[in-house]
Amino acid sequence: MNRPAPSVPAVSHDKRLRAIALLLAPAFVGHTIQLLSEDVPWAPWAGTRYWTTPGWHLVLPPWVILAIAGGLAAAVAGLALRRTRPWMIAVIVLYVAHYFTYPYRIRNHMTLLLASLLAIGGAWLLGGLSGAVDRLGRGPHARLVDRWAVNGVALVLCITYVFAALHKTNTGFLTFGPASAAYRGVNDFWVYGDLGDRAPRWAVATATYGTLVVEYGFPIVARLSSTLRPFLVLGLLLFHFPHVAVMNVADYPMIASTFYPSLFTAGHWRILERYLARPSRWNVGGALLGAAAELWWLPYGGAMSAFGVGVCMLWGWAAGSLLPMGLSRLAARRKAEGPAS
């Protein structure tokens, strides 16, 4: 009698890590579009930049750099199709090699990806070295190891947003004038959305101080508060919408949102998954609204703009799941507390 071959375990028993593995595919699509559109490696001047930019690529033959990039693309495709632990490990290892051999400047989205993937890979490596899990993630302490991996990703995410806020806490950003990125961004949003020829002062103030509030506080408080979590994660998606819509940088927001599942507890994520998996007027409407909003504000053409429409549809579906879940839990909590005395 032939016995069936043992199946390769999924990325993790932890559904948050499974969600991250699924979202890595569109994240890497944005990563690739951004690199190809800005660095244009086929341009006549790209060769000169390659050999005059400091980096580890200078000690390697150019074909090795291409092989690493091609291997990473294959690993991401394999992870998207199978979502098993070996494919995830392949993505982590090849991405680390890609990061340190990339011949041009290293972007902030690349560093966020590196730190987040290292948090997962580091937890798995330590778990394997200690005997807590085997190379496929099986063992008596598998859930504990994966929980530490998720905690590491959440820590990276919170630190990233806090340092983004620290970077903006200066007189240049807090000036309500052209020197401020918030001023320029909200004016672009106002003009491209046909809301007026310039943003009013209250909108500039909201964008300026609101950015600091969101980046300093939303990820940390979302991690700590189960009641506020759905609304704060929804707030993060809304915060990034102008970046996707009018700044043509959908790559970084998509990559950041790839790791938002780490802000949820395992139990809370299981509840959200039920909303995400079941089509409703909320999430279907949210996806359609997201695409329509992106097309309304869209000032650019090209691959990143098309990618931005897809990102906004995905976020719209997520928003249409987060909102009813948050409202339902809020109503249940008020009911349990009873009428105020």
Q: What is the pLDDT of residue 295?
A: 94
Q: Are residues 235 and 92 in the same domain?
A: no
Same domain, 33 and 151: yes
Are 114 and 14 in a shared domain?
A: yes
Report the pLDDT value the prediction gives residue 121, as an integer from 0 to 100: 95
Domain of residue 49, residue span: 9-160
How much is the pLDDT for 340? 53
Same domain membership, residue 146 and residue 246: no
Does residue 236 belong to any structural domain of this protein? yes
Distance, CA of 187 to CA of 198 (rounded, Å): 5
Considering the domain architecture, whether residues 137 and 238 belong to the same structural domain is answered as: no
Query: Domain ends where: 145, 160, 175?
Result: 160
The reply to whether 155 and 223 lie within a common domain is no
Judgement on whether residues 326 and 251 belong to the same structural domain of the protein = yes
pTM score of the predicted model: 0.92
Q: What is residue 112's predicted lDDT score, i.e. its pLDDT?
A: 96
Last residue of a domain, one of 160, 187, 210: 160
- Is 172 a domain residue? no
Give whole-number Cα distances, 158 to 41, 116, 256, 276, 322, in Å: 33, 11, 11, 24, 20
Same domain, 14 and 130: yes
Same domain, 52 and 154: yes
Task: Indicate the residue among 160, 179, 197 that finishes a domain.
Answer: 160
Indicate whether 176 belongs to any domain: no
State the pLDDT at residue 119: 97
84: β partners: 10
First to last CA, the chain: 70
Is residue 142 in some structural domain? yes
Q: Are residues 110 and 222 in the same domain?
A: no
Domain count, the chain: 2
> Is 244 inside any structural domain?
yes
Asked, for residue 178, whether it belongs to a domain, the answer is no
Whether 167 is covered by a domain: the verdict is: no
Domain annotation covers residue 124: yes
Residue 6: the pLDDT is: 45
Based on the domain organization, do 113 and 224 belong to the same domain? no
Residue-level pLDDT at 1: 42
**Axis crossing angle, helix 229-246 with helix 181-192, rounded to the nearest 10:** 80
* Rounded CA separation 82/11 (Å): 9
Task: Give, for all 341 residues of the chain, the pLDDT tens digit.
Answer: 444 444 566 888 899 999 999 999 999 999 999 999 989 888 888 889 999 999 899 999 999 999 999 999 999 999 999 889 999 999 999 999 999 999 988 888 999 999 999 999 999 999 988 888 887 788 888 899 999 999 999 999 999 999 999 999 999 999 888 889 999 999 999 999 999 889 999 999 999 999 999 999 999 999 999 999 999 999 999 999 999 999 888 999 999 999 999 999 999 999 999 999 999 999 999 999 999 999 999 888 889 999 999 999 999 999 999 999 999 988 887 877 766 54
Tell me the HSE value of 218 on the side-chain side, using a 13 A CA sphere.
Answer: 22
The amino acid that residue 316 corresponds to is: G
Question: How far, in Å, CA of 282 to CA of 263, rounded?
Answer: 22
